[in-house]
Structures are given as C-alpha cells and as structure tokens.
Amino acid sequence: MRSDRRSLLVAGLSLSGVLAGGAAARADRNPADAKLAALELWPGGAPGLPDRPPLERITDRAADPSYQDRAVAGITAPRVSVFQPERPTGASVLLLPGGGYRHVVVDMEGYEMGRWLAGRGITAFVLFYRLPGDGWAAGPDVALSDAQRAMRLIRAQANRFAIDPARVSAMGFSAGGHLCADLATRFAKETYRPGDAADALSARPDGAACIYPVISMDPAITHAGSRRLLIGEGANATRERAHSPDHNVAADTPPMFLLHSEDDRSVPVENSLRMRSALKAQNVPVETHLFASGGHGFGLRRAVGKPVENWPELWLAWAARRKLA
C-alpha cells in the first residue's frame, strides 16, 4: 500500500488537486501540467524515515479560482516535476519554492516559474523537498540532502532531458532561497550515504539565484518561523552560524544573483546584504538587485504592477551572460 501511495504522489501531486481535509478536488486549470515528467529522488525510499512518518497533505490557498496556490506539507517522497521546453537550449534550473520550512509552495514559486522558464527554452525542475520539522534523521540538513540529490540526478539524466550537465543552476525563493544558498555553499557536505552512480556527480549548481531569501539564522534579522523549524528556538550561536549560508561562503561558491525588496516585512533585506558581503569577501561574482517596494513572496504573479515586475528578465540577462540560459 505504501509503494502505491508513493507512486501516486510522484505522478505529480495527483495534479487534479488533492486538498487537505477531504475537500473535493478541483479541475486542473493547467491541463498540460498533467503530462509533466516526474523524477523520484530516492527510489528505495528517502533515508532517515521518522518512526512516525508525516502524512503528505496538499492545501490550495487560492482565493481566486483562476489560479492555484498549493502548499504541500509532510513530504515523504521527495521528487522533482520537470517542465520541458519544446526547443531546449540545454540550460536548466532547479527550482526551490519557499514556504518557511513549514510547507512547499509549489505553484506560485515553482510551477509558475517552471512554465516561464520552459517558455524560454530552459528546462525547469521543481523540487518537492522534505521538511526539517518532520523528524527526519538528517535534521536541519534534510532539505539540503534532497537538493544535493536532485542536482546529481539532473546531471545523471542529462541526456534524457536534453540538457548540458555543466549548465545546471538553482533558484530559490524565501526559505527556498535559504535552501538555494545552502546548496551553493555546502554542496560538498556529506548529508547522506551515497547509494548509486549519480551520487558520485557534483551537487554544485553552476549559478544560484536567491529571491527574497532567508539567509541568516541570526535572531536579529532572520525569519523566525524558518529558524524555529530549521534549527530550533533555543539554538546556540554555533548552530546558527552552521546554518547561515553567509558564514559558509568559500572560493568555490558559484556565482550568485540576489534580489530583494527593501520593504520586505517577512524577511529583512539585511539577509541579502549579508550574503552579498560574504560573497564579495571571497571574490565570488554576485549581482544584486534591491527594490524600494515589492514586499515578500511576489513570485511572478504578485510582482505585476510593482517596481519588481521585471525581475525575471533581470535574472535571464544575468544567466545569459554566464551561459546559463
């Protein structure tokens, strides 16, 4: 029964929209998404399963019936949904949606961006990652384990998806921005035991884009909910630093694109500023865009009509200059 459940989940959320609380499923508003390829990260089951595994649940938070805004919690079958362009350029992006490490916001910061990228010839992989508050053995490194494994599998499957394994970048939003920065700075950390040939490949992204990211676990500027679920409310300074990517930047950290609104009330702009300073100190190339207004969690749809509206084009230009688009 358990393997049947995993197969259903990997097929892509049961894309008609299984809703929490037993509510009736809504019709899929993007029928093409039902044809998405799915890649399961851990075919033998994700490592470090808790004694009481979480139950995956999906909530559609959208107030407007013209779009979906699904949040997925309790993920036990980590996987990627793949958006394949009709004419691939060979470039690809691993998308890391946010959600405060409480859930994964797969539509607004995942599927919507996946369609945008695929429309420009870039293959997009939306990651459904495990959450650190669910009791996995890897603790605060559990989402990083999934991001590392996803990068390696993408490179291992490069021929299947017509991508260049040397042009695989990452993009994360909010808490997913923390995961993106964590991957960019700790890609070589052993967070799980290697299991197959794919695990011999590099997990280092060739470029990393952190959009309104959580970076620091410093209580003075962090996102309190992300910090609590990642390292715990009582974490000491050593634990804070270990999970603050600005303290883990090294010379081999990939080039980074940072974008933030200065009026972000959820994740202060100082998170991006600290990351920029750390990158500069290590002579890692970084491009930073700050906007006077835009708030938090704007993704694509909520950026319309704001000063941040054209941020995807800024990223695309940066990626093109680095041969990543």
What the chain holds in terms of domains, given with CATH numbers, is 37-321 (3.40.50.1820)
How far apart, in whole angstroms, are the C-alpha atoms of residue 231 and residue 78? 21
Q: In 3D, which of 65, 73, 81 has the Cα closest to residue 27?
A: 65
Residue type, 72: V
pLDDT reported for residue 14? 36
pLDDT at 20: 34
pTM of the shown model: 0.91
Residue 267's pLDDT is 98
pLDDT digit of tens for each residue in the chain (325 aa)? 333 334 334 434 433 333 333 222 333 456 667 678 999 999 999 999 999 999 999 999 888 877 899 999 999 999 999 999 999 999 999 999 999 999 999 999 999 999 999 999 999 999 999 999 999 999 999 999 999 999 999 999 999 999 999 999 999 999 999 999 999 999 999 999 999 999 999 999 999 999 999 999 999 999 999 999 999 999 999 999 999 999 999 999 999 999 999 999 999 999 999 999 999 999 999 999 999 999 999 999 999 999 999 999 999 999 999 999 9
